[in-house]
Structure 1
């Protein structure tokens, strides 16, 4: 089978197709014949070598976090899915360092869920990593500070992969959403039902603009744009700051709790996202689709600034 491997860190051309053995699912695992795969910033960072210091040295790294496809084999003890089932799934790449990008992938059975009806595989594969990150961030806010209907959430990078899903999920839960993004994203975010603040290079300016809309401060912020500490000024005392990468997590102040969202595979969460997508409460976006053998071109596209929607590999 084909797999996308990185053997030398560098530019997009270092994401290469290689022939590997067909993986065999072990107990509690399923093998998926991939139909669509999403290319994420984390894939680009690994390929470029930006995270080399954090990775154990090995001869090759297979990229990929998520998949949409068809189950073609199951391991012992798996009863939740059967060969022929259309599914979506997620692995935590940094835990396995053996990703999904290729013709087939093996995942734990509890990390997959039925694919949403009515969506193509390319549309469905936009859900797992970004959708679960957004969902788990909102669940953390609900558990930590009781963020429920009527509460206020600030989302930076609201037009990006995680931010777009977080905005929709928060609105679906009845939250007031203040969306921070570029000026060109205003219309789309207002149409979803969010309030809009144009992102500024200085996070303090963004916080000041948010305080004009919410003088008492928002209950929580989900900082997908990695703005960091300056946004604390937009949060009420005893609120919550949700970061998506540790370097962007500020030191707590004024009783504000700080939590780094580290996505975890969760078939139940994926099933919930799929149901929302089927019902139209979640919309997906595709920026571009490339066949698997054009993975280098897909990496180059994903590296462009301001990409809106997922860059997808089709298999």
Structure 2
């Protein structure tokens, strides 16, 4: 039997964008309880180039050639034994992080456990559906950890990033007052999401105290290098968490690393259907232009999701 192959953007060794090349790889098999997805779109996230550079080598095994990408949206192409949740032709999306780095979503196909995969809301485009899982689930996990409720005040460091944008919308839908830092060019957009924007950097503590003289109830750090400011404005017994600074645990906070879980993604999908959560896609490129998309992501000022779409001929 001839083995099916697929196009994939992959790297055979650690490095920068120069190691990312077009490969012809076997189409992944479909084990029991799994689905194979024909990929329509895959998001680019900062963690992708960090893994490619080897930053996570101490904690994650890598099978070379490795295909980056944990966010995916597409159509179910095959199902494994005992997978009643899905049928061939279903439109789905997922945060598809595995225990090892191997075949990710920057390819034509990916196979994932059904427990990671959710049905795509029809309200989302393919690009938006691919852009939601990692950032949205990270935001939701952070807010769950902070256990903040209606009427309380939340400070978000880096409200203009993908995680920050999702967190603002989720918190506002729950009746939370949100203060969020960003460059002035993004203030109008953050206001449109319901946040009270603040310029980040020197003087932030004083600017927060003007808006919240008694301090804030919780802080979500989506940037890093913000612990001193966080502790200065946090109320006594307030909670804080970070996705970018592991040292927060030593200061009574929680370091967040999101887990793949379709049930969490489905909570976000409900918000999408209700109209309280949206995804801002700022640029798209065909899959073979992944290196350029990574370069854009590394610049750090996207202001929304960068998404790869299907390979073009």
User: Normalising to structure 2: TM-score of the pair?
Assistant: 0.92
> CA 1:57/1:175 → structure 2, altered by over 3 Å: closer, same or farther?
closer
CA distance in 1, matches of 2:116, 2:63: 25
Aligned equivalent of 1:273, options 268, 271, 276: 268
Mapped partners of 2:47, 2:177: distance in 1 = 30
The answer (yes or no) to whether the contact 2:285–2:309 under 8 Å persists in 1 is yes
2:176 aligned partner: 175
**Alignment check: 8 A CA contact 2:60 2:100 kept:** no
Would the aligned equivalents of 1:226 and 1:248 in 2 still touch at CA under 8 Å?
Answer: no
Unaligned residue ranges in structure 1 (runs of 5+): none
| Structure 2 stretches lacking a partner, 5+ long | 1-5
3-state SS of paired residue (1:34): strand
Cα distance in 2 for residues equivalent to 1:248 and 1:280? 36
Q: Which of residues 38, 44, 50 in structure 2 aligns to 1:39?
A: 44
Following superposition, which runs of at least 4 residues in structure 1 exceed 6 angstroms of deviation?
A: none
- Aligned residue for 1:113? 118
Question: Does residue 214 in structure 1 map to residue 212 in structure 2?
Answer: yes
In structure 1, what is the equivalent of residue 197 of structure 2?
Answer: 196
In the other structure, the counterpart of 1:149 is 150
Q: Out of 287, 307, 312, which is 2:307 matched to?
A: 312
Match of 2:253 in 1: 258
Q: Distance in 1 between matches of 2:306 and 2:32?
A: 32
Is this contact kept in 2: 1:100–1:106, CA < 8 A?
no
| Structure 2 partner of 1:229 | 227
Summarize the Cα distance change of 1:56–1:68 in structure 2 as closer, same or farther, 3 Å threshold: closer
**CA apart distance, 1:75:** 1.0
TM-score relative to the length of structure 1: 0.91
Shift of 1:3: 2.0
The residue that corresponds to 2:14 in the other structure is 9
The answer to whether the aligner puts 1:285 opposite 2:284 as a matched pair is no
Which residue matches 2:53? 48
The CA distance in 2 between the partners of 1:181 and 1:116, in whole Å, is: 29
Question: What is the CA-CA distance between 1:152 and the residue it aligns to?
Answer: 1.2
Are 2:297 and 1:302 aligned? yes
Distance 1:242 1:210, change over 3 A: same
State yes or no: 1:128 paired with 2:123: no
Report how many residues are paired.
303
Would you say the 8 A contact 2:154–2:216 is kept in 1?
yes
Equivalent of 2:101 in 97, 100, 106: 97
Output the CA distance in 1 between the equivalents of 2:142 and 2:9.
30
Counterpart Cα distance in 2 of 1:285 and 1:96: 29
Alignment counterpart, residue 68 of structure 2, candidates 47, 63, 70 = 63
CA shift, 1:96, in A, is 2.5
- Which stretch of the first structure deviates more once superposed, 45-54 or 152-161? 45-54
The partner residue of 2:85 within 77, 80, 100 is: 80
Offset of 1:55 from its aligned partner? 4.2
Taking a change above 3 Å as real, the CA distance of residues 166 and 76 of structure 1, as seen in their structure-2 partners, is: same
**Deviations 1:261-306, CA, capped at 9 Å, x for gaps:** 1101111121221222233211211121111111111111222231
In 1, the alpha carbon distance for the partners of 2:93 and 2:18 equals 28
- How big is each residue's C-alpha offset from its partner over 1:34-66, in whole Å with a ceiling of 9 and x where there is no partner? 100001101111223333444446533221111
